[in-house]
Chains A and B, each alone.
Chain A
Amino acid sequence: DTGVSQDPRHKITKRGQNVTFRCDPISEHNRLYWYRQTLGQGPEFLTYFQNEAQLEKSRLLSDRFSAERPKGSFSTLEIQRTEQGDSAMYLCASSILTGMNTEAFFGQGTRLTVV
């Protein structure tokens, strides 16, 4: 499978715990995006990378959220001290930088439930 891969698919955690999600983009895609989707809403942009550089992170929901892409390949999204409001689907997408018009390809998402 050469699509965007996300791990885990589902995560249940207790409030206050830290969680980390992984995204493996399509090979040679240099852009990687993280989105959050809550029930009944469209995907909400969180942050994105071009290679290993994080070009936009002001949309991260709070300072409890952080993301890395250390070698310009896979990326991780960490949420510290989780809250029930963090329960959502976290989507990763990747694209090739060949201009502004390329579509992003999405993974199947990680569904987080905070209890």
Chain B
Amino acid sequence: AQSVAQPEDQVNVAEGNPLTVKCTYSVSGNPYLFWYVQYPNRGLQFLLKYITGDNLVKGSYGFEAEFNKSQTSFHLKKPSALVSDSALYFCAVRDRFSGNTPLVFGKGTRLSVIA
């Protein structure tokens, strides 16, 4: 079974500081990993994904994430946070070889960037 853990319900960071939102996953095989962002009363917007290759992937709005197979992690990062980054962030996983499975999401982490 696939699962995702986002250990922090809330992350607070000052504007201009680097931010990290943590994600660990569990799959039986190799993972496809995704980050989505959700603004109030909106659907989820795709940020970035890891499929294969370079462990550091870059996505929208200056976000990046690093895949670490040994730690089964896929933490979301940004070098300099903006107030407009404040939102709910979801990590998701799919097992590469498990057939027609949908994305499995974590519970989400609320990011608050303080001016």
A87 to chain B, nearest CB (A): 15
Q: Are the CB atoms of B102 and A100 closer together than 8 Å? A: no
Interface residues on A, range: 20 to 34
With a cutoff of 8 Å between Cβ atoms, the chain A residues found around residue B74 in the complex are none
Render B54-69 as a binary contact track against A, CB cut-off 8 A, 1 for contact: 0000000000000000
- Supposing A45-B103, A48-B102, A56-B102 touch, asked if A103 and B43 sit within 8 A by C-beta, the answer is no
Render B30-73 as a binary contact track against A, CB cut-off 8 A, 1 for contact: 00101010000111111001010000000000000000000000
Q: Does A62 contact B (CB under 8 A)?
A: no
What is the bound-complex CA distance between A100 and B100, given in angstroms? 8
Q: Does A25 contact B (CB under 8 A)?
A: no
Q: Are the CB atoms of A108 and B43 closer together than 8 Å? A: yes
Q: Does B25 contact A (CB under 8 A)?
A: no
A-B contact number at CB 8 A: 60
Q: Are the CB atoms of B34 and A103 closer together than 8 Å? A: yes
In the complex formed, the residue of A with least CB distance to B47 is A103
Task: With a 10 A CB-CB cut-off, give which of A6, A55, A56, A104 has the most chain B CB atoms.
Answer: A104
Q: Are the CB atoms of B43 and A40 closer together than 8 Å? A: no
Q: Are the CB atoms of B46 and A105 closer together than 8 Å? A: yes
- Supposing A40-B107, A55-B100 touch, asked if A101 and B32 sit within 8 A by C-beta, the answer is yes
- Closest 9 A-B residue pairs measured CB to CB? A42-B105, A106-B43, A106-B44, A108-B43, A101-B51, A45-B102, A103-B46, A43-B105, A101-B32
A-side interface residues toward B, CB under 8 Å? 4, 6, 33, 40-45, 48, 50, 55-56, 91, 93, 100-101, 103-109, 111
B-side interface residues toward A, CB under 8 Å? 4, 32, 34, 36, 41-46, 49, 51, 90, 92, 94, 96-97, 100, 102-108
